Structure formats: structure tokens, C-alpha cells
Amino acid sequence: MTMRSFTASVIVAALSLGTPTLVQAQGASSQPGAEQPSTQSSTVIRSIQVVDVKELQPAVRAKVDELVAHTSDKDIQSLRQSIDATPEAASVLKAKGLSSSQVVAINIADGVLTMFTKTA
């Protein structure tokens, strides 16, 4: 299964050495005017996880909430459309009684797609 890289800025929560760290996704440039290379490559996904934001440690949850608040609706919609266009990802959400509309962030690391969800 593959999922295309996003060129728009989307939120990605990266898990590093068991300690969640939050980063802005591809397309975010640290320098104004910096040229961004085209990313046409695909990432191979071997497994998919779904994590409710409520399950995160409070400090990490606060960071996710802050990043979500600063992410445009357009970027979130792009993320959700990509999830819907990936049958395996949509199927995992559906099996848990969720949909892409509840996904607020993703992480792709070591072949594992982690979708972070928020329920009302």
C-alpha cells in the first residue's frame, strides 16, 4: 500500500524513541523563498494504527491541539481526502467506527501510518 506525499503543509505527529514530538509536515519551509523540491515518491505503509488524541499525554495533547489550531482548513481537508483515497486507511478507520473527518494529524514512520483522531 502506498500513500502519496503531501505538498501542502499538514500536521504530522512524529514519534521518536517512544517520546512524541510534533513537527510541521512537508511543504513547510523554514526559510521564506526557499525552493521546495517536488516529492513524487511514495511511502510504503506496512501497517496502520489509530490513536485517539485523548490517549496522548497531556503535554503532547496540548501540542497537537495547538498545531491543529494553526493548520488551515484546506490542509486538513487535503489530508482527509488523501485518507479517503487510500482504501486501507479508510477501512481501518471504519472498522473502529471512525471516519477521516475525525483525523486531525498523521505520522508515517518506519512503514507505520498512525492516524490521530479527535472525537466529540
pLDDT band at 16 (very low <50, low <70, confident <90, very high): very low
Residue 71 included in any domain? yes
Helix (H, G, I), strand (E, B) or coil at 45: coil
Q: Is the pTM of this model over 0.85?
A: no
The C-alpha cell that represents 118 in the structure block = 479527535
What residues make up the domain containing 9? 2-26+42-117
**Is 81 within the bounds of a domain?**
yes
* Number of Cβ within a 10 Å radius of residue 60: 18
- 31 lies in a domain? no
pLDDT in tens, 96-109: 999 999 999 888 88
- The reply to whether 7 falls in a domain is yes
Q: Is residue 91 part of a domain?
A: yes
Q: Judge whether 97 lies within some domain.
A: yes
Say if residues 103 and 83 touch (Cβ distance below 8 Å): yes
C-alpha cell at 6: 503531501
Q: How many domains does the chain have?
A: 1
Q: Kindly compute the dihedral angle of the four CA atoms of residues 57, 6, 42, 14, in this order, to the nearest 10 degrees.
A: -20
Examine residue 35 and state whether it is found in any structural domain, yes or no: no
